[in-house]
Amino acid sequence: MPTVQVRLTAGFEEARRIADLLEDAFELEGFPVTLEETPAYSNVWTVFALVLDSEPGEAIERVIDVLGADAFGLEPQATVLDEGTNWIALSEEIRHPVQAGRFFVHGSHDRIRRPPTGQSIEIDAELAFGTGHHATTWACLAALDRLFKKDRYARPLDLGTGTGLLAIAIARVLRVKVLATDIDPVAVTIARGNVRLNGVGGLVECLVADGMRARRLMEQAPYDLVVANILARPLMRLAAPVARTLAPRATVVLSGLRTSDAPKVLAAWRMQGLHLDDAIERDDWMALILRNSRA
């Protein structure tokens, strides 16, 4: 019998409730359940449940049995997965710690695996985007690690902070105040908890903001480091408003874009006086490191 992936898409609160119900129901059988924002920063969340030794119709019925006849008004979708893959093992592997340069990102279940050196950051998965597992977040961490080997920054901004991971990484290394924003109030609440958990509550300020539309963002400018791990189109729209808040020779790290989107994103920022200094690519995703050419 094959392994079937059942997925349901909803807003965050509803998706989290569904994930909790399925995890409780499938715990004894060891069926993994995950919750992801799809795509990142879209505020649309997908619950994935793997049902072993099942046909698609049967797997959907098992999920509906847990959620109730109307399944929260959602329509579960099922996909038969490759029978040659150990999906349970793969699911656990996805939750393993992530190393990106000096940064070691782990969940609470992996505290014992923290290395004696470097920067260990604890972020539990499945609550908001940015646990280090996705190629875009990894690329941002790798970019920060590379930058911090040669540069210092005094006024950083994490735009679209998600879990707060990148803001935590910046604060841990530079020991300066970091402003972290997100359009999603739930993400900001999660980020604040992670900031406190990782010992930088006095350094990272988390607030809800739509792009650069917040008085606090203007008050803290100019920024000498901006990190934005979102999507290609928002990155292009933000080029002009972010550029107006940059200090001379400031650094901007952009991620959340496919390699194929890099030329058009770069073009938008070049029009604002920034040039490409470096790039990091992983799994067809890319992080661009830009410098402000304007004095």
CATH (domain of 231):
3.40.50.150
| Segment 214-250, tens digit of pLDDT | 999 999 999 999 999 988 889 999 999 999 999 999 9
Domain count, the chain: 2
Asked if 85 and 146 sit in the same domain, the reply is: no
Asked if 138 and 241 sit in the same domain, the reply is: yes
Provide Rg for the chain, Cα atoms.
20
State which of 94, 117, 142 marks the end of a domain.
94
- Predicted confidence at residue 126, as pLDDT, reads 44
Q: 41 near 13, Cβ under 8 Å?
A: no
- Predicted confidence at residue 43, as pLDDT, reads 63
- Predicted confidence at residue 91, as pLDDT, reads 55
Asked if 22 and 88 sit in the same domain, the reply is: yes
SS3 208: strand
Asked if 181 and 236 sit in the same domain, the reply is: yes
Element (H, E) at 144: helix 135-148
Asked if 219 and 267 sit in the same domain, the reply is: yes
The answer on whether 160 is annotated among ligand-binding residues is yes
- Predicted confidence at residue 265, as pLDDT, reads 95
Q: How far apart are the first and last CA of the chain?
A: 65
The answer on whether 137 is annotated among ligand-binding residues is yes
Asked if 263 and 177 sit in the same domain, the reply is: yes
Asked if 23 and 145 sit in the same domain, the reply is: no
- Predicted confidence at residue 255, as pLDDT, reads 92
Say which CATH number the domain at 30 has. 3.30.70.120
Nearest C-alpha neighbor of 131 from the set 17, 5, 229, 31: 229
- Predicted confidence at residue 128, as pLDDT, reads 44
The answer on whether 182 is annotated among ligand-binding residues is yes
Q: How distant, in Å, are the alpha carbons of 194, 228, 253 from that of 144? A: 19, 12, 8
The Cα 161–Cα 128 span in angstroms is 9
115 lies in some domain:
no
List per-block mean pLDDT (blocks of 10 residues) for the chain, which spans 295 residues.
Answer: 84 83 78 70 75 85 85 82 59 66 83 82 63 74 95 96 94 97 89 95 96 93 95 92 96 91 95 96 89 83
| Nearby residues of 98 by Cβ (< 8 Å), 6 or more positions away | 104, 105, 106, 131, 132, 133, 138
Rounded to two decimals, what is the model's pTM?
A: 0.70
Backbone phi, psi, residue 263, to 5°: -60, -45
Nearest C-alpha neighbor of 143 from the set 243, 228, 236: 228
Please give the residue range of the domain that contains residue 25.
Answer: 4-94
Asked if 37 and 137 sit in the same domain, the reply is: no
Alpha helix locations (H) across 153-270? 165-174, 185-197, 215-220, 232-243, 262-270
State which of 94, 110, 137 marks the end of a domain.
94
Q: 2 near 83, Cβ under 8 Å?
A: yes
